[in-house]
Amino acid sequence: MLAPAINIVIPLYNEEDVFDKLINRLTTIMDSFEKTIEVILVDDGSSDRTAQLMTDLAMKDQRFQSVILSRNFGHQIALSAGLQQITATEAVFIIDADLQDPPELLGEFYEYYKQGYDVVYAVRKNRKENFLKKFAYKSFYRLMDKISYIHIPLDTGDFSLISARVAHLMNEMPEQSRFLRGMRSWLGFKQIGIEYNREERQSGESKYTLRKLFQLAFNGVFNFSELPIKLITNLGLLTIISSICYFLYVVAKKLVYGNVPEGFTGLLFVLVLFGGIQLLSLGLIGEYVLRIFFQVKQRPLFIIKENIKNKEIIESKANGSTH
């Protein structure tokens, strides 16, 4: 099979219920699209029949590649595994398997690519999640916009079409803690956002738990913002200034009134305050140290258990080396 013009990369995790709908819609697009398309399906350690369905499909239709990871590595790593497999000559279309992001927008995105845009990302006009998730997403994106040293567009996710050169450059970036939409923005190039209405999940519930969302947010904040380390500096300066002011107050009280303030409560408050600031500072520094620790070990980002391409099984191996 010749190299396709476009790769579609889709991470899957326990998507057995929606799998047939996804493939039917993708097949309709592929049959009518002006360019050749190959779909790269990445199973992120599913516990249902998702991996088996992918394997059966890839052995029947060479337009589908099945990549099965050895365990659950997480959404961003699964996407990275798919990007490592691309052979597209023009562009890569990134979507999720739950069909909240309509694959039919490929045609519209591709028109912008032909106009010279290296990144065409989707901007969500509305979300159909619960209030808590809507609030969390909205707050996070606006916080990132304020604190990041690069511009990360508001209300965007990984749903996008990127040029092949952007995809290859992202593959060369060595981060262990992946935040792909930030990496995409950091690369620069000509980018444009397209608004769309996000649909409800076709089946099941979101695999992004609050814990995973917080982890993703942490990756964004620590990878693309100087705020945590500057917060430590500012807290240290504030502590020093407060201590000097309190010392001057004590000296003035002694000179004017001949005594110094007494009270165990005030002393306890100061000790607890400064102790809390120190623990917070240690925690933030520890987060950076932990990321350095994982980075310097240079373990592969993921392990492929099985890889089927062009109806053939490719030997499994470690992938996503970070050096």
Residue-wise DSSP of 123-179: EEEE--S-HHHHHHHHHHHHHHHHHBSS---TTEEEEEEEEHHHHHHHHH---SS--
Confidence check: pLDDT of 318 > 60: no
Residue 277 sits in the same domain as residue 232 = yes
Q: Are 157 and 123 in contact (CB under 8 A)?
A: no
Residue 37 covered by a domain: yes
Q: What is the pLDDT of residues 179-238, one digit of tens each?
A: 788 888 888 889 988 888 777 665 556 555 556 666 666 666 666 666 676 777 777 777
Residue 41 sits in the same domain as residue 121 = yes
The mean pLDDT value of the chain amounts to: 79
Residue 197 sits in the same domain as residue 123 = yes
Q: Are 159 and 121 in contact (CB under 8 A)?
A: yes
Q: Are 10 and 40 in contact (CB under 8 A)?
A: yes
Residue 184 sits in the same domain as residue 239 = no
What pLDDT, on a 0 to 100 scale, did the predictor assign at position 322?
Answer: 46
Q: What is the pLDDT of residues 69-78, one digit of tens each?
A: 988 888 888 9
Residue 285 covered by a domain: yes
Residue 205 covered by a domain: yes
pTM over 0.85: no
Residue 209 sits in the same domain as residue 103 = yes
- Whole-number percent of the chain with pLDDT over 70: 69
**Worst-scoring range by mean pLDDT, 24-33, 88-97, 99-108, 124-133?**
124-133
> Going by C-beta distance under 8 Å and a sequence separation of 6 or more, which residues neighbour residue 113?
90, 91, 120, 161, 163
What pLDDT, on a 0 to 100 scale, did the predictor assign at position 182?
Answer: 80
Q: What is the domain extent for residue 268? A: 227-296
Residue 1 covered by a domain: no
Number of structural domains (the chain) is 2
Residue 34 covered by a domain: yes
What pLDDT, on a 0 to 100 scale, did the predictor assign at position 42?
Answer: 94
Rounded CA separation 195/133 (Å): 20
In three-state secondary structure terms, 71 is: coil
